[in-house]
Amino acid sequence: KVIIVVVVGVTSLLTTGSSLLAIYLKGDSPDQSSGKSSDKSFSGPYKNIAVATDTLQCSKIGNDTLKANGSAVDVAIAAMFCLGVISMHSSGIGGGGVMLIYNQTSKNATVIDFRETAPATADKDMFKGDKNKSKKGGLAIAVPGEVRGMYEAWKRHHRLPWKQLVQPAIDLARNGFNVTEAVEDALNTTEGIQKDIENDPGLRELLLIDNNTLVKKGNSIRNEKYAKTLERDKGFRDTLLCDIFTINCSKQKGDSVTRIPMDRCILLVKCISRSVCWMHPIKGIASGINIDS
C-alpha cells in the first residue's frame, strides 16, 4: 500500500509561508533552506521514494523515519515537527495547514483542513481603531491547528508511535541547530522585527546574541523551552498549546519590566475545541494527468 502525502503549512511568527512534500518517488532531498534557486538540478526519473522539505536536515529526518518503516504520514509529521524548530519563520505548532493524502491502492485522495481559526472571543470590531492589531500582538494570533491535524492523520495512517515522530525535533531544539539562510533573510527583511524581538523575552533569548545582534546563518542556537513544550503529555495536543498561551499571558500581565497590555495578550478564554475537517479533494485533468487538489 503506497500513500502519498502533500502538506502545506502556515505559521504566525513571521509573515512568510512554507510547504512540505513527502511522496513515494526516488531521489535525494535538496537543501532549499536558503529560499533561493539552485544551479544543481534534481529533476530526473523518480521511481521509488523521496522526502522533500525546504530544509535538508528535516528531509533527512523524514528519510530516517521512512527507513524505520514509517508510513508517508509518519514521514510528513516527523519532518513538519523538525521544520517547526529550524524553519521557525515559516512553519511550526503555532500555525495550521492543509494535508492531501492519496492512497495508491484504493486510488482515493483525502484532504484534511487544519488551518488555524479565530478564538472564541473574537468579534468583528476587535481590530477597530488600530489596524496593526491584526498583524502584531496577541489579538493577531489564531487558535493553532497544526498538531491536531497531524494527530488526526496519524491516527488513521500511522505505523510508528507518536513519540518517535516528535523526538527528533525535541533533540534538535534541545541540543542545538544552525540558523539557515532563510531564517536570516526573514530576520533581515521583516519590517520592525528587531524591535519586536527585543521586546519579547522568549524571542530575545533565542534570536539575539552579543550586543543585541540578530543571529546569522551558521550560528548555533538552542530552544529548550520549545523542546519542553513538545515533551508535554508524552506527545502534546493543541489544547495544551492554548493552555501555554494563556499561562504566558497571565505571567506577563503583572510583569513590571515588560508591561504588556492586555490587548496584546492572546485571549483564549473559552478557547475553542479545534477540530479538523476531512473532505474530498477537487479533481481535474491537466495534460492528460489526473489532478487531486
Q: Which of 7, 16, 51, 47 is nearest to 30 (CA)?
A: 51
CA–CA separation, 78 and 164 (whole Å): 8
CA–CA separation, 200 and 202 (whole Å): 6
Give how far Cα 118 sits from Cα of 80, 114, 139, 152, 289, Å: 23, 13, 9, 20, 37
Phi, psi dihedral angles at 187 (to 5 degrees): -65, -35
- Is 115 labelled a binding residue? yes
Adjacent-strand bridge partners of 292: 283
Q: Which of 68, 44, 50, 45 is nearest to 4 (CA)?
A: 50
Residue for grid cell 483525502: 110
User: Residues annotated as binding site?
Assistant: 115
User: Residues annotated as binding site for L-glutamate?
Assistant: 115
